[in-house]
Amino acid sequence: MGQAQAEDRPDDIRRSGRFILSGLSVSHGLFHTFHQSLIVLLPEIKDAFNLTEVGVGAIAATERTADGLVSAPAGIASDMHRRHWGLILAVCMGLFGVGWLIIGSAPVFAVLLVGIAVVAVAASVWHLPATAAISEHFPTKRATALGVHAIGGNIGDVVGPLMTTGILLGILTWRGVLSAYAIAPLVMVAVVYWAFRNIGAMPGTRYQTPTMKTQLALTRRLLKNRTLWGINLVSALRNMSFISMITFLPIYFDDELGMSSAVRGFHIALLMLVGMFSTPFLGYLSDRFGRKQVLVPALILLCGATLLLVPWGEGIALTAIIVLMSLFLYSDQPILTAAALDIVGRRVVNTTLGVLTLARLAPSAAGPLIAGALYQAFGIHATFYFVAGIFALSAAVLLFIPLTNPNSGGGGRSLAAEKHH
């Protein structure tokens, strides 16, 4: 009784926005460290299972499919049971560890895909309450806070490839590396539950658990918002390009350029490095001047940088192009998320995130399969042209979506999805 009361005190550090943002950012880094290591190890996995380029694409497609299928129902459930967000996060962390155990010990390719799906589900569901909590604690600086959260992921994206190729592959096989990754998540389950047990409670605010009927009504209202569907489309196209790019760059480095594992890891880490600094800065600019004013130039520059890989995709020129791409490749997603959350009510934040992920399912799953088929049939340049074209299309679509400056109408206090229709 006394312990429960102590945990509910308003001055409990675990209820402060800074603690929540810091803790979730560190956890975000762990997820990305392991995931990025998997991407770097794709050439080893390709050889172990004798995969074609389409087979490599199937790994990314499986991840995106599992992510998308679970997102919408998990989003609705999370909005209904926000007092259990801490438990949800703890379960996801444990499931994340189990997934790596399956991947590392997979005897056949089908079992590997099962492990990929488990990891994807854990990461997908984790991001729902984590992003919602950050959004609610920083309503007028939403993109900036999400950008800071993304820094945790960016650090993991840099550390993962360097640690995998520079240290672990020297003493372990790829199976040993991925199996070892199960230890930290399983150990952290209790810590995560302690840290985020009350993450769903805003200080000074009481919530009533909505009924399924109420939540479904709010969801139907949400799905009538045309601007949200426009953001969904842009997010889906952007994700299609992003997943295709990060899936086949390691294969290109290994098969076409003959890079060693260390050099390959360095370039993958470099792809994320500049983003650690650009992500919160671009988030701040979008909070200040508007989402579209930042996103459209970013998507156009990603298109241009991808096209540059065709004539200059090796040597020092490749390194320079990777640095250019790093400015925007991971920085645009937090801004797109913020743009969606700008127009919805707080009772459907997780549902909105789930809908965004579900909307990306088909393009995200199809993208790496198409990219792999193009690579297999026509070479890597065809894959680069495909990725660049989708980046350009997403920028063109965004131009026609009416997004307002987040600070012009009260920042994150809009309840458009709950007031209209």
* DSSP code for 230: H
Rounded to an integer, what is the distance from CA 115 to the centroid of its chain? 18
Average pLDDT across the chain, whole number: 86
| Distance, CA of 44 to chain centre | 24
List, for residues 284-313, the tens digit of each pLDDT value. 999 899 999 999 999 999 999 999 999 999
Q: List Cβ neighbours of 92 (8 Å cut-off, separation of 6 or more).
A: 122, 123, 125, 126
Quick one: pLDDT band at residue 419, thresholds 50, 70, 90?
Answer: very low
Structural domain includes residue 49: yes
10 pLDDT tier (thresholds 50, 70, 90):
low
404 compared with 286, residue with greater pLDDT: 286
Q: What is the DSSP letter of 401?
A: S
Structure tokens at 76: 């609705």
Query: How do residues 320-333 score in pLDDT, each as one tens digit?
Result: 999 999 999 888 88
Query: pLDDT at position 384, please?
Result: 98
Return the number of other C-beta atoms located less than 10 Å from residue 102's C-beta.
Answer: 20
* Segment among 92-106, 229-243, 268-282, 361-375 with least mean pLDDT: 268-282
Q: Supply 229's token pair.
A: 């569907």
Q: In this structure, what CATH number is given to the domain that contains residue 85?
A: 1.20.1250.20
What is the rounded (10 degree) CA torsion for 416, 417, 420, 421? 150
CA nearest to 61, candidates 274, 363, 389, 271: 363
Distance CA 91, CA 89 (A): 6
**Residues in CB range of 184: below 8 A, 6 or more apart:** 30, 97
Is the pTM higher than 0.85? no
From the list 405, 352, 346, the residue with the least C-alpha distance to 224 is: 352
- Is 3 among the domain residues? no
- How sure is the predictor about 209, in pLDDT bands with cuts at 50, 70 and 90? low
Beta carbons within 8 Å of 135's beta carbon, 6+ residues apart: 142, 145, 146, 338, 341, 349, 412
Q: Examine residue 25 and state whether it is found in any structural domain, yes or no.
A: yes
Total domains in the fold of the chain: 1
Establish if 10 belongs to a structural domain: no
Q: How many angstroms separate the CA atoms of 295 and 283, rounded?
A: 10
pLDDT of residue 150: 86
* pLDDT value at residue 74: 86
Q: Confirm whether 206 is domain-assigned.
A: no
Token digits of residue 27: 């956890």
In a 3-state reduction of DSSP, which class is residue 303?
helix
In this prediction, residue 417 has a pLDDT band, given cuts at 50, 70 and 90, of: very low
SS3 226: helix
Q: Which domain holds residue 145?
A: 15-198+211-419
2 part of a folded domain? no
The tokens of 194 are what? 């302690």
Judge whether 98 lies within some domain: yes
Distance CA 161, CA 246 (A): 13
Q: Which of 358, 333, 338 is nearest to 349 (CA)?
A: 338
Contact 149, 28 (CB under 8 A): yes
Cβ(417)–Cβ(228) below 8 Å = yes
Kindly tell me if the per-residue pLDDT of 413 is higher than 50: no
Tell me the per-residue pLDDT of 17-48, one tens digit each, with 9 for 90 and over.
788 899 999 999 999 999 888 988 999 999 99
Sole residue written with tokens 């769903």: 200
The predicted model gives 269-274 an average pLDDT of: 85
Q: Do residues 99 and 115 lie in contact, with contact meaning Cβ atoms separated by under 8 Å?
A: yes
Q: What is the pLDDT of residues 330-366, one digit of tens each?
A: 888 889 988 888 887 667 777 777 877 787 788 889 9
Q: Does residue 9 sit within a domain?
A: no
Amino acid at 275: G
